[in-house]
Amino acid sequence: MDINRIFNSFTESEDNIVAIDFTEHPTYLLGLFKKLIINHINFKVKNIEFLSKLDPEMSPENIGIIGDMVIFNRAFFHLSRINTSNEAHVQIIEQNYSPQLMNALNMAISFFEPREEYEKCAHILKIKNIFLENTK
């Protein structure tokens, strides 16, 4: 019995491999948005404490502000790739409602509104309204 012959019968040729990129799918983008914001809120205090110990001259308030700016802008980048004019995207938004996602959307609006980033607020509000229309 040839052991190599047995194992070779299970190898896949490169013709049989299919790669699917889900990084542009609205479900992925909504999930990434939610995860970034919710995790940031959960770990913000720990991150501030940790970074304050690394550089005692940097104020905890500044660390928090910088962290918020980085996370909320990165989260919005992913959300901005969702097209609310595309019916397929709208259906996926409707299917992915969760209280945590709605909370993340509200936090993002609360972050961008005082900074007068109204274009970002408008896009977030479109997605929020799709959820609200679907839950009536």
The pLDDT assigned to 104 comes to 97
pLDDT beneath 50, residues of the chain: none
Cα 12 from chain centroid (whole Å)? 34
The pLDDT assigned to 92 comes to 94
Structure tokens at 10: 């299970």
% residues pLDDT > 70 (the chain):
87
pTM value is 0.80
The pLDDT assigned to 134 comes to 81
Distances (CA, A) of 39 to 32, 55, 70, 86, 132: 10, 23, 13, 29, 24
